[in-house]
């Protein structure tokens, strides 16, 4: 059973199918139609070392990723990513992926932040859409992969420390079902919709993380939320880093190219945490511009690239700017500011993607393997989805092929159905869940953003805990069929639970590392904090524990760009 049909889930399904040679029945359960999964939004590229002949190397990709992670990445996991990613690029190629090309016909690569070589393979600025289309088409060739589109998984079924399946609602009918499975993979993506100003799809509501957390699996490093430097103002839709990779520059209200101050060598192509903080500083110190929505921003200027290059390589973001903002980047600079973009943390999983529950793996953005550490480099996520989609698909298939079916916990299915249809569905609370969601987003936007403080995080934690008491008691729509009101209330439950984990971890981490920047503790503190955070659910709230970072070759150094 694969929960989630983004790049990670689809890649896992293909691998499981190929590995089992038709002997397993593989179910992909997804709350939206597979081709509406968040992964279709990916724009700029997928990282892989392809051009050793021109000077790129595996060692360079490994080091860039570890330095980018502010030394929190597990170095053995980074090495594995880098060694497998090129094979995934060619595998996709053979399945029909229309990679952008150079004039000699070889796969083209562009520059991206924090990478010291242009190693982002891309397909215009629609890499996620084409990767998804290639993977989905390939899945359809395998008769033993069955899709359950628009099924909402509510909980994992875990018995005696072993995975047994999951419970789900078929959204169309409202029918409640227990899926029996020998092995499972959680590939449910990130938690970005905890924030209002986010590049994420509205379906990125942290369900998988909350399911795992409730099933006793710790969430790892959840305080590290990435803010991308360039969200279009005021919608938050992403303007890919590929725009800066292809030569775009950032300027403030005085027309100054301010990145010269913050990252004199890498400039706009410093890692995202550094560029996002630079924009925040410019705005705080009065050098931003103001939108009529009240939002402050800086400019991303592409005009010097020329119309031809923009139309060829950045056509989607041009279209987005024209449609959503009424400006053409060929003629005008784009108003941008930092925006919630990626969840570095996730479900605690080892280098093989295995969770502490037997028979259960996790892959993609939902999992914390951990390759991204405290700050992900752009284009590494889709690479991680492909690599660990493959690894977990094979491991889960192998396990299912040799594991005998055990008892199915019918009782747990009945209890879960009661929790939802007798409890939440019939709830009579006063509070409108959409108001609570709005308060949650406002709180996270304000206090768990690029700059954080003990006071702010503590206040936010209290707010979230109070919201949890008021939430999920009010489903207005009483029909069973297509009850999105009920689904949204269940999603809200996941979001509140995961927001509490983010804030608890951020409050405890009294240092600044990667995307987690504490104004009251502005330095990285390797002596006390060179460790992963593990958050466990207990009846009294979140309990934190810590685990060591795996270092193979690179001792932490000061991080300058
Ligand atoms: C705008 C944007 C651009 C990006 N561009 C790039 C890029 O160029 N390069 C790069 O490397 N990364 C990029 N990223 C990041 C990257 O796109 C994501 O990290 C990655 O696509 C996540 O894929 P995934 O397979 O883990 O999950 P997702 O694609 O997020 O899919 C999650 C799946 O889980 C399912 N699901 C969730 N909850 C439930 C539930 N309760 N029941 C059933 N199903 C459920 C959903 O239906 C969906 O199928 C970008 C991100 C954004 C926001």
Count of other CB atoms within 10 angstroms of residue 548: 9
Our CA angle for 414, 37, 238, nearest 5°, is 135
Q: Using alpha carbons only, how large is the chain's radius of gyration in Å?
A: 22
Burial 321-348 (b: 16+ CB within 10 A, else e): beeebeeebbeebbbbbbbbbbbbbbbb
Among 2, 4, 121, name the best residue to mutate to test ligand 1's pocket (greatest count of ligand atoms within 8 A of Cβ): 4
- Residue 226's nearest CA partner among 70, 38, 10 is 70
Mean pLDDT by 10 residues, the chain (561 residues): 98 98 96 97 95 97 98 98 98 97 94 94 95 98 97 97 97 97 98 96 96 98 97 95 93 97 95 96 97 96 96 92 96 97 98 98 97 96 98 98 89 96 85 93 97 98 93 82 96 96 98 98 98 96 97 95 93
The residues with which 184 forms a beta bridge, in sequence order, are: 360
The residue assigned the tokens 């989607």 is 316
Count of other CB atoms within 10 angstroms of residue 1: 28
Q: What's the confidence (pLDDT) of residue 405?
A: 75
Among 14, 15, 33, 42, name the best residue to mutate to test ligand 1's pocket (greatest count of ligand atoms within 8 A of Cβ): 42
**Who's near 250: CB < 8 A, 6+ residues apart?**
229, 230, 244, 257, 258, 259, 268, 275, 278, 279, 298, 299, 300, 301, 336
Q: Kindly state if the Cβ of 381 falls inside 6 Å of ligand 1.
A: yes
Long-range contacts of 318-327 (CB under 8 A, 24+ apart): 320/232, 320/237, 320/239, 321/232, 321/239, 324/232, 324/235, 324/237, 325/232, 325/233, 325/235
C-alpha span between 360 and 212 (Å, rounded): 10
Nearest protein CA to atom 11 of ligand 1, as residue: 379
Q: Kindly state if the Cβ of 236 falls inside 6 Å of ligand 1.
A: no
Q: What's the confidence (pLDDT) of residue 242?
A: 87
Q: Kindly state if the Cβ of 178 falls inside 6 Å of ligand 1.
A: no
Determine the atom of ligand 1 nearest the C-alpha atom of 389: 25
Q: Kindly state if the Cβ of 365 falls inside 6 Å of ligand 1.
A: yes
245 DSSP assignment: H
Q: Kindly state if the Cβ of 207 falls inside 6 Å of ligand 1.
A: yes
Determine the atom of ligand 1 nearest the C-alpha atom of 384: 11
Active-site entry in 244, 299, 509, 532 = 244
The residues with which 521 forms a beta bridge, in sequence order, are: 518
- Residue 472's nearest CA partner among 438, 498, 440, 433 is 433
Residue 11 CA: distances (Å) to CA of 287, 388, 389, 479: 45, 8, 5, 36
- Residue 245's nearest CA partner among 273, 269, 272, 226 is 269
Cis status, amide bond into 234, omega within 30 of 0? yes
C-alpha span between 440 and 366 (Å, rounded): 20
Query: Strand (E) positions, 119-224?
Result: 120-121, 145-149, 151-159, 162-170, 176-180, 184-186, 219-220
Q: What's the confidence (pLDDT) of residue 471?
A: 75
C-alpha span between 315 and 319 (Å, rounded): 6
Residues 78 and 63: beta-carbon distance below 8 Å: no
Å from CA of 126 to ligand 1 middle: 14
Q: Kindly state if the Cβ of 27 falls inside 6 Å of ligand 1.
A: no
Residues 247 and 240: beta-carbon distance below 8 Å: no
Helix ranges, 403-431 (H): 410-417
228 carries an active-site annotation: yes
Q: Kindly state if the Cβ of 372 falls inside 6 Å of ligand 1.
A: no
The residue assigned the tokens 């660990």 is 388
419 carries an active-site annotation: no
Determine the atom of ligand 1 nearest the C-alpha atom of 382: 11
Nearest protein CA to atom 3 of ligand 1, as residue: 42
Among 30, 131, 210, name the best residue to mutate to test ligand 1's pocket (greatest count of ligand atoms within 8 A of Cβ): 30
Among 2, 6, 122, 491, name the best residue to mutate to test ligand 1's pocket (greatest count of ligand atoms within 8 A of Cβ): 6
Q: What's the confidence (pLDDT) of residue 473?
A: 67
Q: Kindly state if the Cβ of 124 falls inside 6 Å of ligand 1.
A: no
Residues 66 and 78: beta-carbon distance below 8 Å: yes
Phi then psi for 450, rounded to 5 degrees?
Answer: -60, -40
pTM for this entry: 0.97
Strand, helix or coil for residue 179: strand
Strand, helix or coil for residue 144: coil
Determine the atom of ligand 1 nearest the C-alpha atom of 198: 53
Burial of 35 (0-12, 13-18, 19+ CB in 10 A): middle
Burial 188-215 (b: 16+ CB within 10 A, else e): bbbbbbbbbbbbbbebbbbbbbbbbbbb
Strand, helix or coil for residue 347: strand
Strand, helix or coil for residue 94: helix
419 DSSP assignment: I
Summarize the chain as % helix, strand, coil (round to 5): 40, 20, 40
């Amino acid at each position: 059973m694969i929960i989630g049909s983004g790049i990670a889930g689809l890649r896992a399904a293909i691998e499981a199918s190929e590995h089992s040679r038709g002997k397993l029945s593989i179910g992909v359960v997804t709350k939206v139609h597979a081709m509406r999964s968040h992964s279709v939004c990916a724009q700029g590229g997928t990282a892989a070392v392809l051009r050793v002949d021109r000077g790129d190397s595996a060692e360079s990709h490994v080091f860039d990723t570890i330095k980018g992670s502010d030394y929190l990445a597990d170095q053995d996991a980074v090495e594995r990513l880098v060694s497998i990613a090129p094979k995934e690029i060619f595998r996709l190629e053979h399945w029909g992926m229309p990679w952008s090309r150079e004039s000699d016909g070889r796969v083209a690569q562009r520059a991206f932040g924090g990478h010291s070589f242009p190693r982002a393979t891309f397909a215009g600025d629609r890499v996620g859409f084409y990767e998804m289309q290639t993977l989905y088409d390939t899945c359809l060739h395998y008769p033993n992969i069955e899709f359950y589109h628009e099924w909402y998984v509510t909980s994992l079924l875990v018995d005696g420390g072993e995975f047994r399946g999951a419970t789900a609602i078929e959204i169309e009918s409202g029918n409640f079902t227990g899926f029996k499975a020998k092995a499972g993979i959680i590939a449910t993506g990130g938690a970005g919709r905890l924030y209002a100003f986010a590049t994420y799809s509205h379906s990125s509501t942290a369900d998988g993380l909350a399911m795992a957390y409730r099933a006793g699996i710790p969430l790892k490093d959840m305080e590290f939320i990435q803010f991308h430097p360039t969200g279009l103002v005021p919608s938050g839709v992403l303007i890919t880093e590929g725009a800066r990779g292809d030569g775009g520059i950032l300027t403030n209200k005085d027309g100054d190219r301010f990145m010269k101050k913050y990252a004199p060598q890498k400039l706009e192509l410093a890692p995202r945490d550094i560029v996002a903080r630079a924009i925040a500083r410019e705005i705080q110190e009065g050098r931003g511009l103001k939108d009529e929505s009240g939002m402050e921003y800086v400019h991303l200027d592409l005009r010097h690239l020329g119309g031809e290059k923009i139309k060829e390589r950045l056509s989607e973001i041009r279209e987005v700017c024209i449609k959503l903002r009424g400006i053409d980047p060929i003629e005008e600079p784009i108003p941008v500011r930092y925006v919630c973009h990626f969840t570095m943390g996730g479900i605690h999983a080892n280098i093989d993607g295995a969770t502490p529950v037997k028979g259960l793996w996790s892959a993609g953005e939902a999992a914390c393997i951990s390759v991204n550490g405290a700050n992900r480099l752009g284009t590494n996520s889709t690479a991680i989805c492909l690599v660990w989609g493959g690894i977990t698909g094979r491991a889960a298939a192998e396990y299912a092929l040799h594991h005998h079916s055990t008892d199915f916990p019918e009782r747990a299915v009945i209890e879960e159905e009661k929790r939802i249809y007798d409890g939440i569905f019939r709830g009579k609370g006063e509070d409108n869940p959409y108001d609570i969601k709005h308060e949650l987003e406002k709180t996270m936007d304000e206090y768990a953003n690029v700059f954080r403080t003990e006071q702010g995080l503590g206040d936010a934690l209290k707010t979230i805990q109070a919201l949890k008491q008021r939430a999920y008691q009010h489903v207005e729509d009483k029909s069973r069929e297509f009850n999105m009101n009920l689904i949204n209330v269940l999603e809200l439950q996941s979001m509140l639970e995961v927001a509490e984990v983010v804030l608890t971890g951020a409050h405890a981490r009294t240092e600044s590392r990667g995307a987690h920047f504490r104004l009251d503790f502005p330095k990285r503190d390797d002596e006390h904090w060179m460790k992963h955070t593990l958050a466990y659910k207990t009846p009294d709230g979140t309990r934190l524990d810590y685990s060591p970072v795996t270092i193979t070759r690179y001792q932490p150094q000061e991080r300058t760009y």
